[in-house]
Structure 1
């Protein structure tokens, strides 16, 4: 008689399927959470893109802002910048510091005058062609180089440290040969050194590289 061997069936348990099922549930929960966070991030980013307030032209400290001075720039508003929704509230307020065209306004730019500081001074200098570079603009750094008025003065003059100033405003004349008026910001002690030669026109403005940051 032929006997057929019957292989016993492997015992089955639900543990592997259960583990796989649990892992899938956890993975799904993580994906849902990730999607929710991404959605929230997109919503926050979209909501923050309200734009900021910028100025249309160079403006001096103490200037009273008008609607024509302001424009809005689209994009995300970083901390400290004034959002476009508050542009109208700036009308009638004074600038605490000078600003250049295109600059984004912050709360520190408007309010009580904070410029120049007690250790600084402003000097207005009338400069003719040849005393300054044609492309001189606000923000440029210059050396106020004194020009000797006579040979005696030149021979007896003691050599001083260069007086460095920052250009805050340039008012160019309508007539090419007329002097331009350049406003310089410099240390108060340096202002006292160059006040006389600047008043006499015995100086030139030598443009130098921007200050390293």
Structure 2
């Protein structure tokens, strides 16, 4: 029993020492919802969470100073903010592009989610249009957002991140709805 008491006391002292070394438990700033790069933060976007601020996290005491500032990268709900998240938008990079695609059932897999890799494959369309332009090869993209419709007959909107060159190749078929998103392996290039 004495050994157990000593062990508990040692653990408590060790925990206190770690807390003092890591800057205390002041709390940090997190976001309430998924937010895109370039989003201007509002008070409603932010919340504070209990935790150490030693890992470069923005302390809860600075939450009000973030209102009106822009995100450099997209963040997911619950993400803790660091100084690298705040400033001029750095996403997409200059060699990348984001493209939005309206997709109907059958053009994408039902479980498609942010982070999935897809091949954007052009479908045959109007013979007049396709005869004047060669169909492009499928290109690989990363899904960054999926907005599913409230009505099942309406299209979902999928945001894709890909190279600028590939975005230019698929812009026409995507605008015409003549494409399919084929989910591929995370290692696909």
* TM-score between the two structures when normalised by the length of structure 2: 0.78
Unaligned runs of 5+ in 1: 1-36
Tell me the secondary structure at the aligned position of residue 89 of structure 1: helix
Mapping 1:84-163, distance limit 5 Å: 84-149=60-125, 160=137, 162-163=138-139
Tell me the secondary structure at the aligned position of residue 86 of structure 1: helix
Tell me the secondary structure at the aligned position of residue 48 of structure 1: coil
Mapping 1:1-213, distance limit 5 Å: 41-42=17-18, 44-45=20-21, 47-149=23-125, 160=137, 162-210=138-186
Query: C-alpha distance in 2, partners of 1:45/1:186?
Result: 42
Shift of 1:205: 1.4
Tell me the secondary structure at the aligned position of residue 44 of structure 2: helix
Unaligned runs of 5+ in 2: 1-12
List structure 1 runs of 4+ shifted beyond 6 angstroms.
Answer: none
Paired residues of 1:140 and 1:167 also in contact (CA < 8 A): yes
Shift of 1:66: 1.3
Query: C-alpha distance in 1, partners of 2:103/2:85?
Result: 29
Paired residues of 1:45 and 1:76 also in contact (CA < 8 A): no
Over 3 Å counting, the alpha-carbon distance change for 1:43 and 1:111 in structure 2 is closer
Number of aligned pairs? 174
Query: C-alpha distance in 2, partners of 1:86/1:140?
Result: 34
Query: C-alpha distance in 1, partners of 2:52/2:174?
Result: 45
Deviations 1:88-115 (A, max 9, x none): 2111111122112222212121211212
Q: Which has the larger radius of gyration?
A: 1
Query: C-alpha distance in 1, partners of 2:82/2:185?
Result: 27
